[in-house]
Structures are given as structure tokens and as C-alpha cells.
Amino acid sequence: MSQISIVSSADAQKVDEGTKAWQLYADSPDIIAARVNGELKDLAYELVDGDTVEGVAIDSADGRDILRHSTAHVMAQAVQELFPDAKLGIGPPITDGFYYDFDVAEPFVPEDLEKIETRMRKIVKEGQKFDRREISDDAARKELADEPYKLELIGLKSTAGDAAEGASVEVGEGGLTIYDNLKRDGSVAWGDLCRGPHLPTTKRIPAFKLMRSAAAYWRGDEKNKQLQRIYGTAWETKEALDEHLHRIEEAQRRDHRRLGQELDLYSFPDEIGSGLPVFHPRGGVIKREMEDYVRRRHIEEGFEYVGTPHVAKEGLFYTSGHLPYYGEGMFPPLELDGGDYRIKAMNCPMHNLIFRSRQRSYRELPLRLFEFGHVYRNEKSGVIHGLTRVRGFAQDDSHSYVTPEQAPAEIKHLLDFCLSLFRDFGLDDFYLELSTRDDSKPDKFIGTDEEWAVATKVLEDVCIESGLELVPDPGGAAYYGPKVSVQARDAIGRTWQMSTIQYDFNMPSADRFNLEYVAADGSRQQPVMIHSAKFGSIERFIGVLVEHYAGAFPPWLAPVQVVGIPVAERHADYLHELAKRLKAKGIRVEVDNSDERMQKKIRNAQTQKVPFMLIAGDDDIEAGAVSFRYRSGDQDNGVPIDDAIARIAEAIETRAQV
């Protein structure tokens, strides 16, 4: 048999003609697929001369996606075996799991998921082989004649990835393929339209669990039929699955929607509308502290505070490019004075008008404008989630107008500002994500190739200089320029997108706002505009902080910083006098005058996650002291009043956590 040359694991080697990828990794059970010439392939792929081959481990990002998509196929097979009339939608891998959509007569209930999971275990144990075969469009239509949603995807084909979330795992440009699940005798147990790759067999699925079911519109369009979506998760080991389930339990304990209700911080009244939260007095304290802090920090960093209205004539957003490129994210027009107005979804067009309101000199640059601008975005109801995805929110929004030569230093200044701000709020684990344009979709971006290259290089250089991990995000740029986002990890390791810094060479251009400054030589030059939102949105950042701290805010942010707890009613006046001294120092303090017993008052304060409790009885009054109790349950008795006040003030001043 003749031999062919391949490159495997960076070493050139010769193998027999007809060798399949799995043969290179027969002694590596953690390898479940191969990357051949940069493309993911099944291990059954037959190698050809000149191939470069790399094994894909099951615990890698690509390996987990393959594992989860294979598990989604097993789930869909189990559903159709148990519910023969179920029609198949789409079943892609997602972060930490997978889902599959089904058209069924009745919604799934928890008992159904138990039956499906049991059937899945049977399929896994059988060791069915995932077998790929190519098929023509006409043959696929004939074979899938009873699957209307699959037929629709075949019709969309090359555009399906854009038309339906997750559809790219099934169809795309080029030919179609079907993956059959084969029994040990070679007969077909089940099959699905899919691009692959997949695990070699179902026995390679180590650990999985079905999580829940929910309604979902076909192709994410509210005008389409509502299907039933089953979510699941799959991991490379039983231990990894257990760790994931523990993280979910911890996330549920920290859920900001539940804690917001328990701590009386905010609510989401149906009478106002979806995605439009209101802040209660205690939540208002947190919001005010954040606003006061970030307003002061912006002024310290050289920004000037401005204000702009909530609505503007529609033409403004055509000038900025938002309506042509971001129109679906804006609310419908309002008719006023015979013309159309729009509720603003961003502040930058109005800041440009402030810049343009008079002649600017190079001596004024960088010119930094900042405001708490309340904006409104037409988010789909299915993605709205508490405070972290809303329709109305306040941005700590800034725009820096600089010369091209000043842009790198300004971006570094903004990045350093953002990171120092997050550290003050107790977040200190970051990485950066660089979002660039998708060159295959030039109609979604404006500007020349050279402008994009310059802007991207400036952002990339600053990111690399920061020393932080840099992750590429191809295609994630705004239509007007590339951006870098700060991704912060919270107390349980989840990642949240926080600040964004965007390099914009388009809005200042003559075709848009025609922004100019007078250069040192007297010529008129176009500035670079750098967009930056530090919190992203105050509402979202509050939601992140609630979950990061599980509601137990550091004292400087806590709505109530101190609770005075009298041992008996006769001790209340003593604590009220102490409360006056604390309030004189700006400390938020309450005295519990309820009829509850002392121990119940302590439990109530701990439930409300108050940082400090000052307890007073006869001995304390006689000594001019208090029993100083932390929400952790630690307690120091006989602490002199002056020492207690100093201890509280220092914790607030230093933003310490207790």
C-alpha cells in the first residue's frame, strides 16, 4: 500500500494511504475529533497527502461543543422515540450546554424530561455510531418530507445562519450532510440534517443532564410558531458535570432578581412594561452611590459633564448611521410637529452636536464629554433578564475627541480608568476582547479598509501593552469602528462584559457630522471620536454587583450600613443618640424599634445583609460602649462608642468588605 505525507502534532510523518484520523489518536481516548487544515473533522475523516492534523480534546472549547451537539442529537432521537409526532427544529451547542427545539402537541413537563433522560442513557449505552453522509438538496427534501422545519432550513441554506440562531450547525453554503445514528448491526436508528462534526459513538458521552424546558419561537421570530425547547448540559467527566451543577446552584442563590425582591432594592412592575425597572429607596441608595462615585471619577479624569434630551428628530439618527445600521434596536417613531422623532438609543449623536456647536482648537483636545444618558433599546421580550438585559437604562457614557496622534494615549487612559473603577467595586479578574469587523459582510460596516486597519491596530497595541489576556471577537465590531471590551469575572467565575471602548473614524467624517478642529498650522482637521461606557449601564452593573456579592455589599455601598439593636426597650434611647452621631458622619443607620426579641432582630439584620450591628444592654450603657457584631456572626463585646464609630467609618472610607 502506498504512503502519504501528513503533519500531525507539528511533526511530519508518513502514513498508509486510506488512514483515518482516529488511527493517529488510537492511544488518546480524550481526543474526539480532528482539526484538519484548520477545519474540524470527524475522527472517521480519511487523510490525504499534505494534510495538517491536530487532535481535538474533549475538554477543549471545540471538544465540548462537539460533545454537546452530539448529546443534542441523542436527546432529539430520544424525544422522537418517545413522542413520534414531534417535529424537529434546531439543536445547537451553547455556552455550558445545548438545546433542541421541538414542535409537539403539548408542552413538556418535568416527568417528560425524566423519561427522555432515561431513554438517552439507553442510547448512550448502546454505543450508536455517528455516521456522516452527503446528500443532495432534492434527496434531503424527499428524506425529510415529514420535517417541515428542516425543509425550511434547506430552502434558506446559505443564509440560514443569519436567519435563525443555531442554524449554522445544520446548513450553510455548499452541500448538505446528514448524520445517522447507526446501531451495532449497521441499521439506522435515527438521523438528522447536520454539518458536524460529531463524536465517534454515543458511548463517548461521559456525563449529561437535562435541565429544563421552555417555549421558544421558531427562528427567534415572534411572528412564527412557538416551539418547545429542551435545555441540557454535557461535560467531559462526571466531576465536571457536578462542578457545573454546583455553580448553577450558587448562581441561583445569587440571582439578582430574587435578591432584589428580598432586599427591597428594585422591582419590575407589569404596569410599566417589560425591561423597565424601578428602584426602591434602598436600591436608590446603591444607584446614587454609584452615580456620585463615577461622576466624581470622570471629573477627576478630565471629563466635562453634559446633558442631552431623551428624544430627537429622526434625521439625527440617519446622520449618525444608527437608523440604517441599528434601526431594529430603536423604538418606533413618535409623530410630533408634523415630523418623526425617535427615543434615543445612544448619546453619541447629541455629543457630536455639542462638539460642533462652536469652532474647536487643537489646544482643546482631548475634549472629553460625559453624561448619565438614559437610553432606550427595543430588545426582544425573550432576551430581557432582570437588570442585566433591559429596555431602558442609564449609561455612564463618554466621548473623547482627539487628534489621531492622541488616540493611543487616550485609549490607554480610558482602559486604565475602567480597570481602576472596577477594582474599587471589588472586581479584579479581567480579560479583554477585541471586536473587529467581518470582512465577508462589508454592507454591515462603514469606512475604508485602511481606516479599519489603523483603528484596529491602535486598539490592539493598547490591549497588548496592558498585559491582560486578549481574546479576538471577529465580526463583533460596531458598524462605525472596532472596539475593545473589558470582560470581568465575578466571585463564582462567571464572565460579564463591562466597559467598552470604541475607535470611531466615521461619525466625525464629512459624510456624517463633519466635525473639525483647527490644527497648529491653521488647517482644519477631522478628530477621532472614542466612545466609552464604563459601567456599560448602571442598571446592569448593579445586577452584576448584587450577584457578585450575593447581596452582601461592602459597607460603602450597603443601603443600610448599621443597625442598632437594643437588648430591651429601655436601651433604645441610648442607641438613638449613637445613631445621631453616625448620621452626622454621613453613615446610613437605623435602630430596630420593633417588638421582636433581640435574637430575632439580629437574624433580621443578617437576612437583610447589613454589615454592622451595634447591640446595647445595661452593661454597655454603663460602660459607654456597644457589642459590635458583623453580619458574619463575629462579635466584639464592650467596644467603646468612639472606637465603634471609627471602625465603621474606616471600613466605609477604604471600601473594605466585611
CA distance 508 to 516: 8
CA-nearest of 215, 209, 192, 190 to 108 is 215
Distances, alpha carbon 259 to alpha carbons 244, 392, 549, 550, in Å? 22, 21, 11, 8
Whether 606 is catalytic is no
Strands in 89-206 per DSSP E: 93-94, 97-103, 129-135, 176-182, 188-193
Q: Is 561 among the residues known to form the active site? A: no
Distance CA 648, CA 641 (A): 11
- Of 348, 391, 504, 609, catalytic: 348
Cell numbers 493611543 correspond to what residue? 408
Residue 483 designated active-site = yes
Cα 490 to Cα 498: distance, rounded to the nearest angstrom: 11
Q: Are the beta carbons of 75 and 31 closer than 8 angstroms?
A: no
Segment (H or E) for 288: helix 281-300
Kindly provide the residue ranges of all beta strands, DSSP E only, lying in 156-315, ordered along the sequence: 176-182, 188-193, 207-217, 226-235, 266-267, 278-279, 304-305, 311-313
Write down the residue that cell numbers 488510537 correspond to: 26
Burial (Cβ within 10 Å: 0-12, 13-18, ≥19) of residue 479: middle
264 is catalytic: no
Q: Is 374 a catalytic residue?
A: no
Among 219, 483, 534, 571, the one annotated catalytic: 483
How far apart CA 535 and CA 375 sit, in angstroms, is: 14
- 74, 126 contact by CB (below 8 A): no
Answer yes or no: 631 catalytic.
no
Catalytic member of 209, 229, 512, 531: 531
Question: Do residues 243 and 236 touch, judged by C-beta distance below 8 A?
Answer: no
531 is catalytic: yes
64, 129, 399, 512: the active-site residue: 399
CB 612 within 8 A of CB 600: no
Return the C-alpha cell found at 532.
466609552
CA distances from 522 to 161, 361, 525 (A): 51, 9, 9
User: Residue 76 and residue 150: Cα distance in Å, rounded?
Assistant: 13
Catalytic residue among 129, 377, 629, 631: 377
Catalytically annotated residue among 77, 128, 228, 395: 395
Are 580 and 303 spatial neighbours (Cβ–Cβ below 8 Å)? no
Angle at 533 between CA 530 and CA 535, to 5 degrees: 160
The residue to which cell 497648529 is assigned? 520
Catalytic residue among 192, 397, 504, 620: 397
CB 271 within 8 A of CB 313: no
Grid cell, residue 658, equals: 466585611
Catalytic residue list: 348, 377, 395, 397, 399, 483, 531
